[in-house]
Amino acid sequence: MTAQVIDGKAFAARVREQVAAHVARLREENGIQPGLAVVLVGEDPASQVYVRNKGTQTHDAGMASFEHKLPADTSETDLLALVRALNADPAVHGILVQLPLPKHLNAELIINTIDPAKDVDGFHISNVGLLGTGQKSMVPCTPLGCLMMLRDHHGSLAGMNAVVVGRSNIVGKPMAQLLLGDSCTVTIAHSRTRDLAAVCRGADILVAAVGRAEMITGDMVKPGATVIDVGINRIERDGKIRLVGDVDYASAAAVAGAITPVPGGVGPMTIACLLANTLTACCRANGLPEPEGLTA
């Protein structure tokens, strides 16, 4: 079998179009423009690229984009004051503090100071608790993007065996909660799991989010399974730097029913879902109906 490729780039473009259309209606009919504030502390090159892309795509979707670039030695007091000012600003519906933060800053404290209703990353402890108890929340962007692709591919996920490899707060745990919410039978596997290959072979849906290049190989995939690769790893091969996932694509694609490539799979969905979350936060803040198909 050669797996169907799930085209995350094309899917993300459709999500962005949906968001832009809804934003245009909000502006015309309600005179409201959703706004996203992104806070970057320091000069981490990867973070600078992310933040630039977020700003461009926010703008292209018709939203207001507020960028706050602060020096690496910004004090916790000053950063907390900025977050509180953004919480109080009615033009800002979503706040994202780019991670990682410099070591002298307490990331948990800063994230938990964001108004949960504006926490478009879904990292605030209130949103984590709401998701865990099946209540309406802001959902982390990468797992939300994975869920959208899975729903689009399968329709209902009810009763499927889902294995999530990786237990991070940003991807693994919320991904498992979302799959449970869609009535999958969910296993979270990790570096200490015994016979990981056998556990993975039980999966109708296999989500790889471990951060180890090409760790999931074809012999770990059930024939016909859907494989979602969240990994983005830079490796050197044949003297060149290449971007690869947590899944060994060639061997997995020979066995799977469907698979997301790297690049062009999950990656583009993350910013698309950030825009979707900002729109959702704006609609909720104004007591308006939420966009359909763009939430969990």
The yes-or-no answer on residue 78 being catalytic is: no
Helical segments of 26-101, H only? 45-60, 76-88
Query: In this chain, which stretch among 11-19, 93-101, 124-132, 188-196 interacts with ligand GUN, using CB under 6 A?
Result: 93-101
- Please identify which residue in 5, 20, 80, 99 interacts with ligand GUN, judged by CB under 6 A: 99
For the CA atoms of the chain, what is the radius of gyration? 19
Continuous segment of H or E residues that includes residue 97: strand 94-97
The site that binds ligand GUN (CB under 6 A) totals a number of residues, namely 8
List the interface residues with ligand GUN, window 13-52 (CB under 6 A). Answer: 50
Phi-psi region of 195 (alpha: psi -120 to 50; beta: other; left: phi over 0): left
Residue 142 CB, nearest approach to ligand GUN (Å): 6
Rounded CA-CA distance 268/205 in Å is 20
Answer yes or no: are the C-beta atoms of 42 and 73 closer than 8 Å.
no
Task: Kindly state the DSSP code that residue 230 receives in the 8-state scheme.
Answer: -
Annotated active-site residue in 18, 57, 98, 177: 98
Annotated active-site residue in 119, 121, 182, 204: 121
DSSP assignment string, 137-189: ----HHHHHHHHHHHHHHS--TT-EEEEE---TTTHHHHHHHHHHTT-EEEEE
Residue 121 CB, nearest approach to ligand GUN (Å): 5
The yes-or-no answer on residue 219 being catalytic is: no
Site membership for ligand GUN, residue 248 (CB under 6 A):
no
Residue 108 CB, nearest approach to ligand GUN (Å): 13
Which C-beta is closer to ligand GUN: that of 39 or that of 196? 39
Residues at the site binding ligand GUN, with contacts judged by CB under 6 A: 50, 96-99, 121, 141, 270
Catalytic residues: 54, 98, 121
